Amino acid sequence: MSVTLAEVAEFIGGEVVGDDSTELTGVAAIREARSGDLTFVSNLRYEKYVSETSASAVVVSRDYSGAAPSGTALVVVDDPYDAFARAMTLFAPEGDAVDRGVHPSAVVADSARLGTGVAVGANAVIRDDAVIGDGTAIHAGSFIGKGVVLGKGTTIYPNVTIRERCALGDRVIVHCGTVIGSDGFGFALSGCSHTKVPQIGNVVIEDDVEIGANVCIDRATLGSTRVCRGSKIDNLVQIAHNVVVGEGA
């Protein structure tokens, strides 16, 4: 795609120094950038590369006092890293989408309730009394257990398991292979034997949380294991039963 620098600057709230009619077709790191690319610098160690870049435009902070090569414009913002991250969304390639509607091979319980614009991929399973919010996408091979609630605009990537009675909010992203609501590791020791303690709680994931691939979040023994609003979890993380991850962690 192609956008003008003026359009990018308006989108990220920046001020252009140079030709705002410049056409941009992509993004790149400052040392690899070429004509047509937008790049950025947010660390003093990298400011020296601004004078050498071939990029068409560079996002810089208001404290930046250096010059850019001829033909390279600057976009001045308060926070270059945050602004560039938002600008990247204009150029990001479309992901592996799942068609809206229910794939013929999916298994959806009669008592499940699906909102408007929901997408359910091949071989996905949605069990009894699950509630799926408007615009939510469930990719191939994922399992949504009994009584699970998924909010609006949530994305469940392939081969995710969300077990019974767990609840996810709006705009949550769960990457491949993650398990939400597996049993907490609870046992009562009697002599040399272990009696399993029933794990009768659930997991609550609040709005705007992103969970990486192959994460395990155990259900609570009692109450809820909770990941609060806006938190971001990397791949291969274990969150044990009854843990509370705070907001924006």
Spatial distance between the Cα atoms of 146 and 142, rounded to a whole number of angstroms: 13
Residue 141 CA to residue 172 CA, distance in Å, equals 18
3 state SS of 162: strand
Q: Could you list the active site residues?
A: 241
Identify the three-state secondary structure at position 88: helix
State whether residue 202 is helix, strand or coil.
strand
Tell me which amino acid residue 24 is: L
DSSP state of 11: H
Query: Per DSSP, which regions of 131-233 are E strands?
Result: 131-132, 137-138, 143-144, 149-150, 155-156, 161-162, 167-168, 173-174, 179-182, 187-190, 193-196, 202-205, 210-211, 216-218, 224-227, 232-233
E strand or H helix that includes residue 37: strand 37-40
